[in-house]
Amino acid sequence: MNFIAIIPARYASTRFPGKPLALINNKPMIQHVYEQSKKVFDEVFVATDDKRIAETVAMFGGKYIITRDDHQSGTDRVFEAATKLKDNGVDFDVVVNIQGDEPFIHQKQLTALKECFADVNTQIATLIKPIDNADDLFDVNKPKVITAINGNAIYFSRQTIPFIRGEEKDNWKLKHTFYKHIGLYAYKFDALEKVSKLPQSSLEIAESLEQNRWLENNLIIKTAITDIETIGIDTPEDLEKANLEFLK
């Protein structure tokens, strides 16, 4: 299969305007993400609606594609970019959506996503990580996932799943391996097209997790286990932490 990586990046952000251009170790964040992606994928594009981001990408020798400015999600922006690339003759089967605020994304994680498509039935791939501390286990801001024996996702929840009946919560980690979801996705192009057109579903609304919409519509989400959890940049405070990482 042929893979293409698309990095959605917008300038406007409530918590951190101009985030893709913020400097980490004297280099724009979007450049870090792009360079990490190029370690795994031959074709990488930044999808943006902002001229400043496009100019920055061009300046460091990257490729970009201009998208509309009214997208509600990064997934929608990725689909528009992928469609434009298809229409312009770029050949690919799978689209990898790499968040523009993940400058420490690891090539092992991206390779694990690619390997999910060795199963011809895989329509969407994502990563999961074993939960190693109780704080994450019961944190509703850390989505959990349960999977089938073959690694296909069964359900995503903000609650701790599965529920361990007859055990005190302090003992749950001794009785089961729990997994949290790492929000990195790859899609077969036709699955991405379907995802972009699906209306919100009841389970998605209940949990505020769009992955459940895909499951409710019978899309197969293959998971790969990673032991890596990178630092995402959501706020200026996160940026300070990221710069400290480079000093270690």
Count Cβ atoms below 10 Å from residue 178 Cβ, excluding itself: 21
DSSP the chain: --EEEEEEE-S--SSSTTGGG-EETTEEHHHHHHHHHHTT-S-EEEEES-HHHHHHHHHTT--EEE--S--SSHHHHHHHHHHHHHHTT---SEEEE--TT-TT--HHHHHHHHHGGGSTT-SEEEEEEE--SHHHHT-TTS-EEEE-TTSBEEEEESS-SS--TTS-GGGHHHH---EEEEEEEEEEHHHHHHHHHPPP-HHHHHHT-THHHHHHTT--EEEEE-S--PPP--SHHHHHHHHHHHH-
Cα 217 from Cα 123, distance rounded (Å): 12
Contact (Cβ atoms closer than 8 angstroms) between residue 222 and residue 116: yes
Total-model pTM: 0.93
- In this prediction, residue 248 carries a pLDDT of 67
**CB neighbours (10 Å) of residue 26?**
7
Q: What is the pLDDT of residues 199-236, one digit of tens each?
A: 999 999 999 999 999 999 999 999 999 999 887 888 88
pLDDT digit of tens for each residue in the chain (248 aa)?
999 999 999 998 777 889 999 999 999 999 999 999 999 999 999 999 999 999 999 999 999 999 998 888 889 999 999 999 999 999 999 999 999 989 999 999 999 999 999 999 999 999 999 999 888 999 999 999 999 999 999 999 999 999 999 999 999 999 999 999 998 999 999 999 999 999 999 999 999 999 999 999 999 999 999 999 887 888 888 888 888 877 66
Q: What is the dihedral of CA 106, 84, 48, 57, to 10 degrees?
A: 70
